[in-house]
Amino acid sequence: MANHVLLNNVDHKDMRILTRRSADLGDSFMFAPTFHHEFRSVQAHYPIFFRKSPDGRYHAVAVFGFQERENLFLTGDGWDAHYVPLSVERQPFLIGFQQGPEDGANGKQPVIHVDIDSPRISITEGEPVFLNHGGFSDYLKRINSLLHTIHEGFAAERGFIDALVEYDLLESFTLDVELEDKSAFRVAGFHTIHEERLNRLSGEALNALNSKGYLQPAFMVLASLSNIRDLIARKKRLRVETS
């Protein structure tokens, strides 16, 4: 279970982070959050879908497998793709919010938190988080920049999702897969963009989406679906290797 605390250079002065990718370090997950500003990089490797949370809102995810705790991109050599989604790369760090005396009654500043129970944390190996004098290491500077990008990306994501809902562009997606050994499974619970409805939008609607930067990522979601074939091929290879 995650245990998030405010990162500081006193309690965590000797902290190091293991950056390699493996199941033992917590990378066995079926999907991870993403956002439309990241779609250009994500769609080159992973299918992009949408999931509805308990509050009824949709969220974009990059999919790595077909069942819980399955990541078909993990191999003995690490993560088998040239791009790792930012929500994965930032682990075990995340954005938290802290109110300072200068922020007023309603103001809060983003700060770096860390999951101190993460298996990535070490004091003997990995990337140092702080310098000897307490300053940010180059690694932590990169993480700080990455967290800022994620924070802004997810803040902007709401408008993109709302536009897809407004134009009724989301539809449920179910995938039935049968392997050579005759085993079969069904992937459900995801949504994708309805291609025909997108193509039938009026010029005014298309212009509205394009002016906000939403049209290109919508087509990138559709393009990403071609990666399902690669996922199935990875699943088949895994069955052969473990049989």
200 vs 56, higher pLDDT: 200
Amino acid sitting at position 181:
D
What digits encode the pLDDT tens for the residues 82-109? 999 999 999 999 998 886 656 554 557 8
86: nearest Cα among 157, 137, 9, 182: 157
pLDDT for the residue numbered 179: 76
Q: What is the pTM of this model?
A: 0.91
d(CA 10, CA 31) in angstroms, rounded, equals 34
pLDDT for the residue numbered 101: 58
Indicate whether 144 pLDDT > 80.
yes
Indicate whether 242 pLDDT > 80.
no
In the chain, where are the structural domains located? 4-242
**Average of pLDDT values for 209-217?**
97
